[in-house]
Amino acid sequence: MASFTNVTPVLAAGIADINPGLTLWAAITFLLLLFVLGKFAWGPIVKLLDEREKTIREAIDSAKQERAEAERMLAEQKESLVHATREAAEIAKRNQQEVEVLRQQLTARARKEADELVAGARKQIVEEKSKAVAELRGMVADLAIDAASRLVKSSLDEKAQRQLVEDYLKQLPVGRA
Partner 1 sequence: MIATTLVSIALGLTLAQHDGQAAPAAHEVAAPTEAAHAGGGDGEAAPGETAHAEAAPGEHGGGHGGHDLSLGGVMMHHVSDGYVIEYPGVCGGAFAWNCEWNLRETFGDSLKFGGLDMTPTKHVIMMWLASALLLLVVFSALRGKAIVPRGFYNFVELLVAFVRNEIAIPNIGAADAGRFLPYLLTAFFFILFVNLFGLLPFAATATANLSVTVCLAVLTFLVTQYAAIRAQGIGGYLKHLTAGVHWGLWIIMVPVEVLGLFTKPFALTVRLFANMVAGHFVILALLGLIYAISIWVFPVSVALALAIFMLEIFVAFVQAYIFTLLSALFIGSGLAHHGHDEQAEAHH
Of 43 and 138, which CB lies nearer to partner 1 in the complex structure?
43
Is 60 a binding residue for partner 1 by CB under 8 A? The answer is: no
Burial of 50 (0-12, 13-18, 19+ CB in 10 A): exposed
Q: Do the Cβ atoms of 156 and 164 come closer than 8 Å?
A: yes
Of 22 and 92, which CB lies nearer to partner 1 in the complex structure?
22
Q: Candidates 19-27, 63-71, 103-111, 135-143: pick the segment binding partner 1 (CB under 8 A).
A: 19-27
Size of interface with partner 1, in residues (CB under 8 A): 39
Of the candidates 48, 88, 136, 151, which one interacts with partner 1 according to CB under 8 A? 48
Strands (E), 76-145: none
Work out how close the CB of 52 gets to partner 1 at its nearest, in angstroms, rounded to a whole number: 6
Is 7 a binding residue for partner 1 by CB under 8 A? The answer is: no
b/e burial code for range 3-14 (CB count within 10 A of at least 16 → b) = eebeeeeebeee
Dmax (CA) for the chain in angstroms is 207
Cβ atoms within 10 Å of 166's Cβ, excluding its own: 10
Work out how close the CB of 45 gets to partner 1 at its nearest, in angstroms, rounded to a whole number: 5
CA distance 165 to 168: 5
CA distance 93 to 101: 12
Q: Candidates 14-22, 93-101, 129-137, 138-146: pick the segment binding partner 1 (CB under 8 A).
A: 14-22
Of the candidates 7, 45, 73, 106, which one interacts with partner 1 according to CB under 8 A? 45
Of 46 and 118, which CB lies nearer to partner 1 in the complex structure?
46
Of the candidates 7, 8, 38, 57, which one interacts with partner 1 according to CB under 8 A? 38
Alpha helices by DSSP H, listed for 156-176, are: 158-171
CA distance 125 to 121: 6
Binding site for partner 1 (CB under 8 A): 1, 9-10, 12-27, 29-30, 32-34, 36-38, 40-46, 48-49, 51-52, 55
